[in-house]
């Protein structure tokens, strides 16, 4: 077990922020997350966090996964004090961090996310993991399922994932898996690309539009300049940023600000 005191880290806020759909509460203050084929439980009380893994796994994987090397307080301090809406959003969601997740998992996850809600996305992801992912068991005897590899999903018929409640999104996932397996899409190359080039490459995938591509860039590739916009976020921009979001001021951290706004709109008790 690794114990750390971490400022600007709130596992509950991260869990409900719409970045990760394999994270859930298991008890008061205790959460579990499955990333690829890895399993972790976290207990948090205030700024004290306990990560139930060994030192090597924490340093080599989970620290980067939770972006623990970044001072999010510095990002919040750069918010224009006259922008009371964004300041309120950041204060409300000050424990959010941008997760650094697996590219393949995020491609599939956000293909599934289209015209969907968080509860249903979680269920769909769980369904395909249980149906096609490898069963794993922790040292403590906890059973879970790894995220299915593209080689497995590429063998399916285009409608097979409808049985996992994906609906019309089934063909998006299966065709993308085939593109990865047959070499039409090179995930390693995408990982090394700049934000603009990576987004352009992702837009070539069947079923991927601007918003999905930006979500993948932000939550998998950690391009923090990505600013996912759907109809809901466009309404926010129209209401609070009629002249456009101040990208220049928040260069290199637009995605962090987007998450503060997204979370605030979903869960904030008072709207600016």
| Span 76-117, pLDDT tens digits | 999 999 999 999 999 999 999 999 999 999 999 999 998 778
Q: How many domains is the chain built from?
A: 2
- Going by the DSSP 8-state scheme, the letter that residue 249 receives in this structure is T
Of the candidates 128, 134, 108, 103, the one whose C-alpha atom is nearest the C-alpha of residue 39 is 134
- CATH code for position 25: 3.30.310.260
Same structural domain, 137 and 45: no
pLDDT at site 117:
86
Same structural domain, 62 and 116: no
Neighbours of 84 (CB within 10 A): 12
Residue 123 token pair: 């269920």
Residue 272 has pLDDT above 50, yes or no: no
Same structural domain, 67 and 130: no
Whether 203 and 213 have beta carbons less than 8 Å apart is answered as yes
Residue 168 has pLDDT above 90, yes or no: yes
189-204: per-residue pLDDT in tens?
999 999 999 999 999 9
Residue 220 has pLDDT above 70, yes or no: yes
Same structural domain, 85 and 112: no
111-148: per-residue pLDDT in tens?
999 877 889 999 999 999 999 999 999 988 999 999 99
Residue 167 has pLDDT above 50, yes or no: yes
Residue 206 has pLDDT above 80, yes or no: yes
How sure is the predictor about 269, in pLDDT bands with cuts at 50, 70 and 90?
A: low
Is 234 inside a domain boundary? no
Same structural domain, 81 and 108: no
Is 272 inside a domain boundary? no
Same structural domain, 120 and 12: no
How sure is the predictor about 248, in pLDDT bands with cuts at 50, 70 and 90?
A: very high
- Going by the DSSP 8-state scheme, the letter that residue 160 receives in this structure is G
- Domain boundary residue, one of 57, 92, 127: 92
pLDDT at site 192:
97
pLDDT at site 116:
78
Same structural domain, 119 and 38: no
Report the pLDDT averaged over residues 166-185: 95
Report the pLDDT averaged over residues 51-59: 96
Is 233 inside a domain boundary? no
Same structural domain, 175 and 77: no
How sure is the predictor about 232, in pLDDT bands with cuts at 50, 70 and 90?
A: confident
Same structural domain, 107 and 87: no
Q: What percent of the chain has pLDDT over 70?
A: 99
**Domain span holding position 175:** 103-219
Same structural domain, 63 and 151: no
- Domain boundary residue, one of 59, 92, 125: 92
Is 183 inside a domain boundary? yes
Distance of CA 146 to the CA centre of its chain: 17
Is 207 inside a domain boundary? yes
Same structural domain, 120 and 195: yes
- Going by the DSSP 8-state scheme, the letter that residue 164 receives in this structure is G
Of the candidates 122, 103, 115, the one whose C-alpha atom is nearest the C-alpha of residue 188 is 103
Catalytic residues, by residue number, are 211
- CATH code for position 213: 1.10.340.30
- Domain boundary residue, one of 58, 92, 126: 92
Is 125 inside a domain boundary? yes
Whether 119 and 266 have beta carbons less than 8 Å apart is answered as no
Same structural domain, 67 and 171: no
Residue 234 burial class via C-beta count within 10 angstroms: exposed 0-12, middle 13-18, buried 19 and up: exposed
Of the candidates 103, 101, 125, the one whose C-alpha atom is nearest the C-alpha of residue 113 is 125
């Amino acid at each position: 077990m690794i114990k750390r005191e971490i400022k600007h880290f709130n596992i509950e806020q991260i869990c409900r922020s719409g970045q990760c759909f394999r994270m859930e509460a298991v008890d008061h203050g205790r959460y579990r997350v499955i990333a690829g084929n890895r399993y972790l439980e976290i207990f948090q009380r205030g700024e004290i966090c306990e990560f139930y893994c060994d030192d090597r796994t924490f340093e080599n994987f989970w620290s980067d996964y939770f972006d623990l090397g970044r001072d999010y307080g510095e990002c919040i301090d750069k918010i224009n004090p006259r922008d009371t809406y964004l300041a309120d959003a950041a204060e409300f969601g000050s424990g959010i961090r941008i997760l650094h997740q697996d590219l393949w998992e995020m491609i599939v996850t956000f293909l599934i996310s289209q015209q969907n809600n968080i509860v249903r996305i979680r269920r769909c992801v769980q369904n395909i993991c249980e149906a096609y992912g490898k069963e794993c068991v922790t040292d403590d005897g906890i059973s879970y399922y790894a995220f299915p590899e593209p080689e497995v999903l590429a063998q399916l018929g285009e409608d097979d994932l409808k049985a996992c409640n994906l609906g019309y999104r089934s063909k998006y996932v299966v065709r993308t898996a085939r593109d990865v397996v047959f070499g039409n899409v090179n995930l390693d190359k995408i990982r090394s690309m700049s934000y603009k080039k990576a987004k352009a490459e992702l837009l070539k995938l069947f079923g991927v539009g601007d918003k999905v591509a930006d979500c993948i860039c932000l939550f998998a590739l950690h391009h923090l300049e990505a600013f996912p916009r759907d109809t809901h976020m466009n309404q926010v921009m129209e209401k609070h940023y009629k002249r456009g979001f101040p990208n220049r001021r928040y260069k290199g951290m637009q995605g962090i600000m987007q998450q503060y706004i997204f979370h605030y709109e979903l869960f904030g008790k008072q709207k600016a």
